[in-house]
A = this chain, B = another copy of it.
Amino acid sequence: MEKVSSLGRHLLVEYYDCDVDVLDSVETIREAMLNAAEMSGATIISDTFHHFSPQGVSGVVVIAESHLAIHTWPEHKFAAVDLFTCGDEVDPWIGFYYLKEVLKSKYFTVMEMRRGLLSAKDGKLLFKPVSSENSEEKKEIYAKDI
């Protein structure tokens, strides 16, 4: 039977009332995002982080299973975070809770969206290759149906 399944899930997070010093430290934010990726079970491919003048940080971690992104506004004690992961080997919620602690966010909103909704035989999306040509080991991981 033809069913609709999804390739991944995407947490859209708004962290409010965060620690201003953390929000403005590109080193702390980068380390936190890389940790969040690793703790969630993701395979890190690359990352890029920048500090803005006079304040604020933007950065992205590309993972084999999609990406994590952050934008901070210390002047508003606010950070917008995206945790987009594919497959059921990765749990973006682990990253969500961890980042909440690091940013010392006092309240937040979070929305989970399904991305890549497709018709699939028996509700199974047959595979998703996640190995990188840039990685030393060219392994292929086959995602289970979500």
Contacts and interface: CB of A to CB of B under 8 A. Distances in A.
Contact of A58 (B14, B66, B80, B117): B66
A32 interface: no
Interface string A92-135: 00000000000000000000010111100000010111111110
B54 A50 contact: no
B129 A52 contact: yes
A53 B50 CA distance: 29
B59 A62 contact: yes
Contacts of A59: 62
B52 A130 contact: yes
A12 B113 contact: yes
Given A45-B50, A54-B129, A75-B127, 15 more contacts: A7-B73, A7-B76, A7-B78, A10-B12, A14-B117, A47-B48, A48-B60, A50-B132, A55-B129, A56-B129, A60-B60, A69-B84, A76-B118, A76-B125, A80-B115
